[in-house]
Amino acid sequence: MRAKGLCESCDKPAPFIKKDGTPYLEPHHVNRLSDGGLDHPRYVGAVCPSCHREIHSGVHGMSLNERLKRRLEAIEG
Protein backbone atom coordinates (compact mmCIF):
# COMPACT_ATOMS: atom_id res chain seq x y z
CA MET A 1 0.00 0.00 0.00
CA ARG A 2 2.81 2.42 0.85
CA ALA A 3 4.30 2.19 -2.66
CA LYS A 4 1.00 3.14 -4.36
CA GLY A 5 1.84 1.03 -7.41
CA LEU A 6 5.31 2.52 -7.92
CA CYS A 7 8.64 0.76 -7.55
CA GLU A 8 10.32 2.11 -4.43
CA SER A 9 13.69 1.80 -6.14
CA CYS A 10 13.19 3.39 -9.59
CA ASP A 11 9.81 5.17 -9.05
CA LYS A 12 8.36 3.64 -12.21
CA PRO A 13 4.86 2.12 -12.27
CA ALA A 14 4.47 -1.60 -11.59
CA PRO A 15 4.99 -3.54 -14.84
CA PHE A 16 1.45 -4.95 -14.85
CA ILE A 17 -1.76 -5.30 -12.88
CA LYS A 18 -2.47 -8.69 -11.33
CA LYS A 19 -5.72 -10.59 -11.80
CA ASP A 20 -6.91 -9.27 -8.42
CA GLY A 21 -6.52 -5.68 -9.67
CA THR A 22 -3.42 -4.79 -7.64
CA PRO A 23 -0.07 -3.65 -9.09
CA TYR A 24 2.62 -6.33 -9.35
CA LEU A 25 5.63 -5.42 -7.22
CA GLU A 26 7.99 -7.76 -5.39
CA PRO A 27 9.01 -7.48 -1.73
CA HIS A 28 12.72 -6.89 -1.17
CA HIS A 29 14.25 -7.16 2.30
CA VAL A 30 17.08 -4.62 2.49
CA ASN A 31 18.64 -6.75 5.23
CA ARG A 32 18.45 -10.44 4.34
CA LEU A 33 16.28 -12.51 6.65
CA SER A 34 18.99 -15.19 6.60
CA ASP A 35 21.41 -12.59 7.99
CA GLY A 36 19.07 -11.64 10.83
CA GLY A 37 17.08 -8.96 8.98
CA LEU A 38 13.58 -8.20 10.20
CA ASP A 39 10.37 -8.88 8.27
CA HIS A 40 8.93 -5.42 8.96
CA PRO A 41 7.73 -2.71 6.53
CA ARG A 42 10.63 -0.49 7.58
CA TYR A 43 13.02 -3.01 6.05
CA VAL A 44 10.96 -4.27 3.08
CA GLY A 45 10.64 -2.31 -0.14
CA ALA A 46 8.15 -2.92 -2.94
CA VAL A 47 10.23 -3.10 -6.10
CA CYS A 48 9.66 -3.96 -9.76
CA PRO A 49 11.09 -7.29 -10.97
CA SER A 50 13.84 -5.52 -12.92
CA CYS A 51 15.11 -3.59 -9.90
CA HIS A 52 14.78 -6.67 -7.71
CA ARG A 53 17.01 -8.72 -10.03
CA GLU A 54 19.48 -5.85 -10.35
CA ILE A 55 19.72 -5.46 -6.57
CA HIS A 56 20.46 -9.17 -6.16
CA SER A 57 22.55 -9.81 -9.29
CA GLY A 58 23.71 -6.53 -10.79
CA VAL A 59 27.08 -4.82 -10.63
CA HIS A 60 25.52 -1.90 -8.73
CA GLY A 61 23.27 -4.05 -6.55
CA MET A 62 24.87 -3.10 -3.24
CA SER A 63 24.58 0.63 -3.90
CA LEU A 64 20.96 0.25 -5.08
CA ASN A 65 20.15 -1.69 -1.91
CA GLU A 66 21.75 1.02 0.24
CA ARG A 67 19.79 3.72 -1.58
CA LEU A 68 16.55 1.78 -1.05
CA LYS A 69 17.44 1.32 2.62
CA ARG A 70 17.87 5.10 3.03
CA ARG A 71 14.56 5.76 1.25
CA LEU A 72 12.72 3.33 3.52
CA GLU A 73 14.30 4.87 6.62
CA ALA A 74 13.17 8.33 5.49
CA ILE A 75 9.60 7.09 4.90
CA GLU A 76 9.20 4.82 7.92
CA GLY A 77 11.33 6.79 10.37
Q: Which domain holds residue 28?
A: 1-77
Residue-level pLDDT at 13: 99
Q: The CATH number of the domain where 72 resides is what?
A: 1.10.30
| 25-60 per-position pLDDT tens digit | 999 999 999 999 999 999 999 999 999 999 999 999
**Is residue 1's pLDDT more than 80?**
no
Angle at CA of residue 25, ends 58 and 69, nearest 5°: 55
Tally of structural domains, the chain = 1
| 6-15 per-position pLDDT tens digit | 999 999 999 9
Residue-level pLDDT at 77: 75
Residue-level pLDDT at 14: 99
Instruction: Give the Cα separation of 56 and 54 in Å (integer).
Output: 5
